[in-house]
Structure 1
């Protein structure tokens, strides 16, 4: 086969591979399940976080809080450094995961991680 044939074939293969990358990288969970505004309203200002931290929440409520904290970590902050956002939201994810696993320290972890001023000062 000629060199031209292989060049065209490899170029076509490369084109197919490059156009398939976004499709392969697309994940159903790529987009956060909850918007930051909704999380603030339902979990942080609402009763959900306090209920989970106090130990009075059902398994479903613990799971919902954890899902919200995971989504919050995936969201982009309005301002501030991504590294700071990742650290602060990571603590919330870890604390909510502890609650789902019925860790006795989960309530204290949630109270410490849900420090409004610590997050709002650099990111709101």
Structure 2
């Protein structure tokens, strides 16, 4: 019981949703990390996010390759999700120009035109 409470408190303190991190489904990632101009992705890609935001975004992206998209082939999905992960890792690592790479990798239309279901 104590360890469960500790884990929940730690998750709450770090800002990471236990449910979201475990769910790892595409819809959750899109809703919680990518949707809108004030999204986690938008904040991090424009340099307005905190280091914790970048780590949280990376954690979301790392769940994507294990999922299957509604449409498109798995090779394309793996390629696009790998680019997102690499770009977010670059921001976490503080690489120069990483936010621009993240903006390009997070292009919604490039992925949705191939993989989003109708």
Asked if these proteins are the same fold (TM beyond 0.5), I'd say: yes
- TM-score interval, smaller chain: 0.7 to 0.9
How many aligned positions are there?
94
**Number of the residue aligned with 2:56:** 64
User: Which 4+ stretches in 1 moved above 4 angstroms?
Assistant: none
**Number of the residue aligned with 2:12:** none
For 2:32 and 2:82, the matched residues in 1 are separated by 19
For 2:99 and 2:59, the matched residues in 1 are separated by 17
For 2:22 and 2:90, the matched residues in 1 are separated by 21
How far has the Cα of 1:87 moved from its partner? 0.7
Structure 1 residues without counterparts, runs of 5 or longer: 1-30
Q: CA RMSD in A?
A: 1.6
Q: Is the radius of gyration larger for structure 1 or structure 2?
A: 1
TM-score by length of 1: 0.70
**Number of the residue aligned with 2:70:** 78
For 2:32 and 2:22, the matched residues in 1 are separated by 15
1:15-54 alignment runs, 5 A limit: 33-46=23-36, 47-54=39-46
How far has the Cα of 1:73 moved from its partner? 2.0
**Number of the residue aligned with 1:22:** none
**Number of the residue aligned with 2:15:** none
For 1:42 and 1:73, the matched residues in 2 are separated by 17
TM-score by length of 2: 0.73
SS in 1 for 2:61: helix
Given that 1:70 and 1:93 are in contact with CA atoms closer than 8 Å, whether structure 2 keeps it comes out as yes
**Number of the residue aligned with 1:5:** none
Select the residue among 90, 98, 118 that pairs with 2:82.
90
Cα deviation code 1:59-105 (max 9, x no counterpart): 21111000011111221111210000011111100000001101121
